[in-house]
Structure 1
Amino acid sequence: MIVELSPAYLTWAEVDPALHPFDAAAAARVVRSLGPARRVPRRPEVPPADSAMRAWDREVAEPWADAMSHALVECYGRWVVGWRWAHDEGDFDGGPVGNWCCPRDSITSPEETLARVVAALCEWREWLESLAGWFEAYPLELSAVEDQRILWERAARNLILQVVDRTGCGSGWYGHCMQVLTWFLSHWGVAGDVAGGLVDDAIGGRFESWTGPDAVVVEDVAEKLARSLRPDDGVRSAGVRSAGGVPDHLGRWLAVREAVPWPEGPAHGAEEPVASSRDGAAEDIRAFDGAVDPARAEGLLAALERVRADAAHGASLDFELLSGWQQHVLGTAEPPPFRSLPAFAKGGRERYGIGPDTRARFDACLAESAAGGERSLALTARAARAYLDVCFFHPFDDGNARCAFLALLFVLAREGVVLSGVSLLRRITFQADSPGDALRLARYIDVHLTETRRRAALGS
């Protein structure tokens, strides 16, 4: 599983300052123009350890910070999510940002809070620009690595020490250190999956939280990393590939889809209809999407209403049905068509191919979301599989994550289930080639389904 707003999964292509323009002088104006800036939550006047503070942090402050991240991403690009990568145990462990800690501690008055967002944003950008400068200070060529190992080693050692200084070696600092080394190798042409493996092998678990690395260990890691490089590391990469050499993640998903041990997931099937007095999906859309953009929330709520109506009428799940919902999601004059070109997601890390039978295969997969038949799976598995089918067929040019969420809700609603909460099902993404991710999503659905049944039994 990949947390969509986590900077730990950013690639160098996503953060390279040369590819993503940024005007620091205009940052304050831009931040204050965003929707969440007009709705900064008020901090309750209670002690930090009070249960009311914990509830406010979870239900109000964190969703607001997520909404601000989404708004910044839409404005600047995904590189910007690092503005919350605080030192120590902040929003994300072991980061290089000192101007932001976490929503509970960093959200105060609106003016002070927005000033912190701007400062953290600029600090993160400055760090990326510093890294780019250090990368360029070592003009290396992978094809000539045999003659440049000392330079590769010096560069790695310098970068480790820079991360040590910037993060202060707090909780989880080594995660960002591994990322920076991977970025460095990627910058000079090492394939991304190869780079990550080489860095992991070189460090070998020897870096620890709250502890600065011993100088001898730093030297050994740098030397091992430099010695492990090969001239062909820029082209080696595992997985299904298209004719152009780019992995086809739709192909990967279709292979994984058949291999996932779905029956090993949660056992909830087509049981009695259940719904609590809370509509968790609608509440989440109003709170989260509304904070990002009220118009976005209105469109998604309109689509949700249509989802529930279609489910009540026993509609079959197919592309045409999705396209009708997507018209509301995207606010288009007509239902959007199925894409005609290969699609990309996760900052270009995943590519979904296209062929003459792609839409027909998509409809065939979606049809399996219905109950009944010899191969019918538990409700949680069918809902999870439909969600992932939409993600990896990626049928639309935009809004596929929202569409996948609606498809999941439709599969549940068709069997009379309306969840009381959806917090585990949104703002997350999954790997196309990971059977474990598919089962994990089924378990997340089961967690919410169990809680919904509990609430329904209590009448809440």
Structure 2
Amino acid sequence: MRDDLQAWLRVRQAVNWAGVQDVTGPIHGRRDGILTAAALRDKPGETARGDGLRAAWQRARTDATAGKALDFRLLHEWQKHVLGLPEVPFRTLPAFAKEGRERYGLSAETPLLFDVCLADSGASGVPLAARAARLYLDVCFFHPFHDGNGRAALLALGFVLARERILLDEVGPIQIRRYADDPVGAVSLARIVHALAVATQQRGQLPGRHPGERPPPAVRGPYVHAEAAVSAQGEEL
């Protein structure tokens, strides 16, 4: 039976992550993109799903400021906030996504491999945007939790960037559907993360704008087409 986690691990090894353009902090926009994503989960009179992501992101940002290394224990603590549960252990069965079209296998080594991938998020020699994108995909395709893996992936990506003093003001283009066996898509995500960081920096330097106001197309940068795709495909949280 097809195992898309194994497909991702092969892609992960084959991609030239070092070829992605680097970005350095500090970069801060006029709003917090992950908080904006959390607000999109709210419904009139009901904010539980958004509240979970907000609480988890607050904890993740605190951990990033403290310079903590990412491991499953840290991710697990955030996910408890995301899901509002006292415990969220690593899954004990194969996982499925995309209406069952992707299957992520499980063996005794899977949690150990996931820990290695989490540790890679702090490895030197790989550009920050590539490390953040690679980690996002690691969480998506290891699919460690029974629910909320898209949110866990977004938190992990935000954490790695925040640890280097980068806070994106827009995360929508990151959240379009990704496939485990797609090396072109993996590199594209890394380039999108870089472009979002550059665009956040540019928007933060614009005079006379109000928080939340959309910039002109020239400032939005090369991720504009990915952002349009989010509207067409919806978020994967």
TM interval, short-chain normalised? 0.7 to 0.9
Rg comparison, structure with higher value: 1
Counterpart of 2:139 in structure 1 is: 390
Q: Deviations over 1:101-127 (max 9, x none)?
A: xxxxxxxxxxxxxxxxxxxxxxxxxxx
Counterpart of 1:437 in structure 2 is: 185
Q: Deviations over 1:85-142 (max 9, x none)?
A: xxxxxxxxxxxxxxxxxxxxxxxxxxxxxxxxxxxxxxxxxxxxxxxxxxxxxxxxxx
Counterpart of 2:129 in structure 1 is: 380
Q: Distance in 1 between matches of 2:123 and 2:204?
A: 23
The residue type equivalent to 1:409 in the other structure is G
1:419 corresponds to 2:168: yes
Q: Distance in 2 between matches of 1:429 and 1:408?
A: 16
1:355 corresponds to 2:107: yes
Counterpart of 2:86 in structure 1 is: 333
Deviates most, 412-421 or 288-297: 288-297
Deviation of residue 264 (structure 1)? Answer: 2.9
Counterpart of 2:66 in structure 1 is: 313
Deviation of residue 371 (structure 1)? Answer: 4.5
Q: Distance in 2 between matches of 1:307 and 1:359?
A: 21
Deviation of residue 315 (structure 1)? Answer: 1.0
Q: Distance in 1 between matches of 2:98 and 2:29?
A: 34
Residue of structure 2 aligned with 1:268, choices 22, 31, 37: 22
Q: Distance in 1 between matches of 2:117 and 2:41?
A: 29
Counterpart of 1:251 in structure 2 is: 6
The residue type equivalent to 1:393 in the other structure is F
The residue type equivalent to 2:65 in the other structure is A
The residue type equivalent to 2:105 in the other structure is G
SS of equivalent residue, structure 1 residue 351? strand
Q: Deviations over 1:223-261 (max 9, x none)?
A: xxxxxxxxxxxxxxxxxxxxxxx2000111101100012
Counterpart of 1:282 in structure 2 is: 35
Q: Distance in 1 between matches of 2:82 and 2:27?
A: 26
SS of equivalent residue, structure 1 residue 424? helix
Q: Distance in 1 between matches of 2:165 and 2:93?
A: 37
Runs of 4+ in 1 over 4 A off after TM superposition: none
Give the percent of matched residue pairs that are identical in Structure 1 and Structure 2: 49
Q: What is the 5 A alignment of 1:208-247?
A: 246-247=1-2
Q: What is the 5 A alignment of 1:126-145?
A: none
SS of equivalent residue, structure 1 residue 290? coil
Deviation of residue 456 (structure 1)? Answer: 2.7
The residue type equivalent to 1:260 in the other structure is V
The residue type equivalent to 1:268 in the other structure is D
Q: Distance in 1 between matches of 2:92 and 2:36?
A: 34
Counterpart of 1:210 in structure 2 is: none
Counterpart of 1:345 in structure 2 is: 97
Relative contact order higher in (CA < 8 Å, ≥ 6 apart) = 2
SS of equivalent residue, structure 1 residue 344? strand
Deviation of residue 369 (structure 1)? Answer: 0.7
1:365 corresponds to 2:117: yes
Deviates most, 401-410 or 363-372: 363-372
Q: Deviations over 1:44-91 (max 9, x none)?
A: xxxxxxxxxxxxxxxxxxxxxxxxxxxxxxxxxxxxxxxxxxxxxxxx
Deviation of residue 285 (structure 1)? Answer: 1.4
Q: Distance in 1 between matches of 2:5 and 2:204?
A: 38
SS of equivalent residue, structure 1 residue 430? coil
Say what the alpha-carbon RMSD is for the aligned residues. 1.5
The residue type equivalent to 2:10 in the other structure is A
Q: Distance in 2 between matches of 1:281 and 1:332?
A: 21
Q: Deviations over 1:179-198 (max 9, x none)?
A: xxxxxxxxxxxxxxxxxxxx
Q: Deviations over 1:323-353 (max 9, x none)?
A: 100001101023x111111111111111111
Q: Deviations over 1:168-218 (max 9, x none)?
A: xxxxxxxxxxxxxxxxxxxxxxxxxxxxxxxxxxxxxxxxxxxxxxxxxxx
Going from structure 1 to structure 2, the CA distance change for 1:371 and 1:417 (only over 3 Å counts) comes to farther
TM-score, structure 2 as length reference: 0.83
Deviation of residue 272 (structure 1)? Answer: 3.0
Counterpart of 1:88 in structure 2 is: none
Q: Would you tell me which structure has more helix in proportion to its own residues?
A: 1
Q: Deviations over 1:143-179 (max 9, x none)?
A: xxxxxxxxxxxxxxxxxxxxxxxxxxxxxxxxxxxxx
User: Structure 1: which 5+ residue stretches go unaligned?
Assistant: 1-245
Counterpart of 2:203 in structure 1 is: 455
TM-score, structure 1 as length reference: 0.44
SS of equivalent residue, structure 1 residue 291? coil
The residue type equivalent to 1:253 in the other structure is W
Deviates most, 450-459 or 316-325: 450-459
